[in-house]
Amino acid sequence: MTTEQLVAQIHKKKSFLCIGLDVDLAKIPEHLLQEEDPIFAFNKQIIDATHHLCVAYKPNTAFYEAYGIKGWMALEKTIKYLNTNYPEIFTIADAKRGDIGNTSTMYAKAFFEDLAFDSVTIAPYMGKDSVEPFLAFKNKHTILLALTSNAGAFDYQTKLVDGKELYKQVLETSKAYKGAENLMYVVGATKAEYLSEIRQIIPESFLLVPGVGAQGGNLADVCKFGMSSNVGLLINSSRGIIYAGADLNFADSAAEKALELQQQMQIELEKLS
């Protein structure tokens, strides 16, 4: 999917919501545990109930790997279901991968070719030659971790390197990577005040913003400081949506929560025009 197609979907749906499919068998409605593939059964119902309210889904691979082969089969079924039934949806493999050149190419093949995701999240620690192999894939997007939403973000990411915070160094240096037009960035919503400085470095790049909801960020603040002329934001909510209900109507409960966020996003989008 191209960035232009993503932006068009945002305007059409009046939403820049991304729903995180972080499926934990200990948290899904009990009646689903009878299904042959409870994880996929859960995802399918969530997707069917919310796809008109969001523009992206983001399965975090950890939650699938934890269940071994069965988990990977559920991940494969989920992405196939999305690509077949809702091809207008932008798909994100939240995998936080990163390795040396030829190995990163293997990861890129895994997520862009074998699983056919539109994008994958990548950790920047190993530098340029660990990221560029992902950028070589046309109309695929590499979402680089810049500033994360956890407490540990302050351990290294906000430390000064040559007088500038490490996460800003990541933004600055990655702009010059070959294929940089395919870059997006993870920026945690718990630090909305940082967004205006980030926009000075990367005025137009899309930002994937976790931490609205369970991790506690404020949607209006994120939009005020982070929205670009082409929107430039995907705001993720995982647990706040998918675990909104635990009974037979869990998917409707999820849709209600998604609708609340979509309606707030519609107001923010109207400010743009």
Distance in angstroms (rounded) separating the CA atoms of residues 245 and 256: 10
Whole-number Å distance between alpha carbons of 105 and 108:
5
Asked if 159 touches a second copy (CB under 8 A), the answer is yes
Task: Say which DSSP state 118 is in.
Answer: S
- Apex CA 184: angle with CA 200 and CA 23, to 5°? 130
Q: Which of 2, 5, 52, 65 binds a second copy (CB under 8 A)?
A: 65
Catalytic residue flag (residue 77): no
Measured between alpha carbons, how far is 61 from 44 in angstroms, rounded to an integer?
Answer: 17
- Of 174, 190, 258, 269, the residue nearest 231 (C-alpha): 269
Q: Pick the catalytic residue from 14, 96, 128, 224.
A: 96
Q: Is 153 in the site for a second copy (CB under 8 A)?
A: yes
Q: Does 72 bind a second copy (CB under 8 A)?
A: yes
User: CB under 8 A: which stretch of 4-12, 38-46, 157-165, 255-263 binds a second copy?
Assistant: 157-165
Report d(CA 99, CA 65) in Å as an integer: 18
Q: Does 152 bind a second copy (CB under 8 A)?
A: yes
Stretch of residues binding a second copy (CB under 8 A), selected from 28-36, 58-66, 221-229, 252-260: 58-66
Active-site residue list: 96
Point out which residues bind a second copy (CB under 8 A): 22, 24, 60, 62-63, 65-69, 71-73, 76, 96-101, 103-104, 106-107, 109-111, 114-115, 123-131, 145, 148-157, 159-162, 166, 169-170, 173
